[in-house]
Amino acid sequence: MTTELQATVDGLVQKGKGILAADESGPTIAKRFKAIGVESTEENRRAWRSLMLAAPGLGQYISGVILYQETLGQRADDGEPLPQLAARQGIVPGIKVDAGKGPLALAPGDEITQGLDGLAQRLEGYRQQGARFAKWRAVYNVSDQLPSRAAIEANAEALARYAAICQAQDVVPIVEPEVLIDGDHTLARCAEVTQAVLQAVFVALHRHGVALEHMLLKPSMVVPGKAHAAQAQPAEVAEQTLRVLRRTVPAAVPGINFLSGGQSPAEATANLDAMNRLGPHPWRLSFSYGRALQDTAMQAWRGEAAHAQLAQQALLKRARLNGAASIGEYGASMEAAD
């Protein structure tokens, strides 16, 4: 029902708060754990995600958390289900529902996201476990030729079908079209691709009857490829990203929660802050970061229960800094502060 969708949106789009992306797939979190010398066992994954959700005061800066399917069924040390632990902190629990990406047939270099089969039935189960919103990620490789028009259209169609299915199940969809940072493309090329991608996404959402008021957008920022010689300053990123958003995203969308997409924690925060300093905007501009929130905390933790408090403090610091950036009140000097 519409009131339930609206209540979820209201819970997610709060001033000074953003979304914690804790939905890494099995292979992805194994890679993150390997970097800190931790084996990716179910218990270690449970301990890590439980530690984050239990961080005292996390709900001051985090309005929602995207969970992985495994996490949705796990419990904290005291037996409390992790979605319930999040909700007790005032954090809306959500769930990643796509089944990952694979090659797009007959389109070398392009990829398509899978997972629409049986989605309605899965969402029904996830709701019973406490999930109130969902996330689906599409990815776009960038070069002089990529992404192809076929990839742009196919991923837009999948995102729109996913969003429509979610809303039919009273689940708020987060629509995530990620223009990848890999490569040596220019800032201008990223802007060109991002505009084409977002235009196609919103045409498809309209075609499938998705209520824009009851969804969130999770886009990448307009940045040069990480191998490009000239990297952009926050003011440039803000100007180019906002230009594309104003051309493509209807004002009916309540919130735009950026992904960090391989930026460093400080870069992701500074770029978000620069955009909010150029407001006001028709949408709430905030964050939905994974690595940019978790990396420093994971480095502090390193799989040691004795380091839990240090890890929580590191997580809270990044959440607080991004909360400030979401209202244009972040300063670089805050990075050095305790």
Residues taking part in catalysis:
176, 218
Task: Give, in degrees to the nearest 5, the angle at Cα 207 between 206 and 209.
Answer: 65
Positive/negative CA dihedral, 120, 125, 131, 137: negative
> Which residue in 208, 203, 99 sits closest to 153, CA to CA?
203
3 state SS of 310: helix
Question: Distance between CA 198 and CA 206 in Å, rounded?
Answer: 12
- The first and second tokens of residue 260, run together, are 């960090």
- The first and second tokens of residue 209, run together, are 């009857």
User: What distances in angstroms separate CA 91 from CA 83, 96, 139, 333, one per listed residue?
Assistant: 9, 16, 27, 28
CB distance 259 to 272 below 8 Å: no
Task: Give, in degrees to the nearest 5, the angle at Cα 144 between 246 and 142.
Answer: 60
User: What distances in angstroms separate CA 238 from CA 234, 269, 313, one per listed residue?
Assistant: 6, 12, 29
Question: Distance between CA 335 and CA 338 in Å, rounded?
Answer: 8
Give strand ranges (E) for 201-336.
216-217, 255-258, 284-289
